[in-house]
Each structure stands twice: as structure tokens, then as C-alpha cells.
Chains A and B, each alone.
Chain A
Amino acid sequence: RKEVEQDPGPFNVPEGATVAFNCTYSNSASQSFFWYRQDCRKEPKLLMSVYSSGNEDGRFTAQLNRASQYISLLIRDSKLSDSATYLCVVTSYNTDKLIFGTGTRLQVFP
């Protein structure tokens, strides 16, 4: 089983739609969680950290469910510029190393 699993997609949604991605992780001792965004042929960039209480940044909401070992990302009012691959990232237990999921591709169409 992979340490971090994501549905690869693609998710094809119209502008203005709400879309949600889930990600599961296998190590219950994982401590930090992130969503990164990666545009085609570019480097990943941090979208948001995920906190236990859940957090929101504009149109983006991240949730963490430790009991079920999954994190989610909700994007409201999708824009064309949201088209990208979204990487779920979890820290390895007791180290600073990050474990990356394979990413979920989102395509927003007009």
C-alpha cells in the first residue's frame, strides 16, 4: 500500500463548480499535512497547510480526519486558473521528510 494515495483524476469541472479531492495516508503517526499545487512542467508550490481544526483560505478549504487518516481539499467557485495538479503531502514520522502523493489533476473548462 502506498504511504499517500490520491485519485489521479482528471476531474473535469465547469467554471463556478465546487470540487473536492480526498487523500488517504497510511502512517497514523504522521504529524504535518499539506496541499501543494503543481502546474504542468513546473515546480510544486505550497497551496495550504492542513490543520486539525480545518482551515480555509479564500475559496479553498482543507480538512483533516485523523481517525480515518484522510485529508481533503475543497475548491469553491472554480476558476480556469485553478487547472493544475494538486499534491497531497504528509510528513514522515519523526523526520522532516515529506511524502508526496501522485497528485490529482483538475481541469476547469469555460
Chain B
Amino acid sequence: DGGITQSPKYLFRKEGQNVTLSCEQNLNHDAMYWYRQDPGQGLRLIYYSQIVNDFQKGDIAEGYSVSREKKESFPLTVTSAQKNPTAFYLCASQDRGGVNEQFFGPGTRLTVL
């Protein structure tokens, strides 16, 4: 089955620690995205990548980092510099030759203790 997987589903982290969220897709999509969602707010774009070995900052990139070494994988690191990291993190992918629909993974709920 084609799709996007994210792991882990729930993650707890102590303040001051870096943590990496996994995102893998087997849809052969070129573009991948990371969003965070907070209660009562829409999805906000953290980073995106339109091709392997290239990525751009989104609207709220501070305190986050990404890599795109493989087409299938786009991991997100939440660093200790992120002031308020507790949130629901969603990864998405998109076929750039298509009609802009983005397919989402099931999300990772990060809680900083």
C-alpha cells in the first residue's frame, strides 16, 4: 500500500533535548512538507522540500532543522532552541506534477515535559 508513515505516534521529551521525527513516503512524490498544528490554529508550515538535497524554510522554521538525503525520507529535528515545541506534527507529500493535493501522514504528537 502506498502512503506516508510517521513515527513515533507519541513522543515525550525533556526540556533541552533534541528529538527527531521520522517521515517516510512510498508515493514517489518529489515534494515533502512539515507542519505543526496547535489547538485552535491552522496548520503552519515549518520546512518543505521540492527535490532531494534541497529544502526551504517555511513560516515558522526557527528551532527546527531538516534533511532530504533520499526522496522517500524527510526527517524533522526539533532542537532545544524551539521555545514551545509541544504540538501535533504532520508530514505531507505532494506530486508536483499533479493538482497540488497533499497527502498527510498520521502525525506525531510531541509533548515536552
Contact = CB atoms under 8 A, between A and B. Distances in A.
Contact of B99 (A32, A42, A45): A32
Interface size class of chain A, counting residues whose CB lies under 8 Å from the partner chain? 20 to 34
Interface string B33-54: 1010000111101001010000
Interface stretch (B13-21, B68-76, B77-85, B103-111): B103-111
A75 B41 CA distance: 23
Interface in A24-61: 32, 34, 41-46, 49
Given A96-B94, A96-B96, A46 B101 contact: yes
Contacts of B66: none
Interface of A: 4, 8, 32, 34, 41-46, 49, 87, 91, 96-98, 100-103
A43 B107 CA distance: 6
Given A8-B40, A49-B101, A97 B48 contact: yes
Contacts of A101: 42
Interface residues of B, number: 25
A9 B107 CA distance: 24
A43 B104 contact: yes
Contact of A96 (B41, B50, B58, B88): B50
A96 B106 CA distance: 21
A31 B108 CA distance: 30
Contacts of B106: 42-43
B74 to A, nearest CB: 15
A42 B42 contact: no
Given A42-B107, A43-B90, A43-B107, A98 B102 contact: yes
B84 to A, nearest CB: 18
A65 B90 CA distance: 30
A41 B88 CA distance: 9
A100 B104 contact: no
Contacts of A49: 99, 101
Contacts of B99: 32, 49
Given A42-B106, A96-B50, A96-B96, A4 B31 contact: no
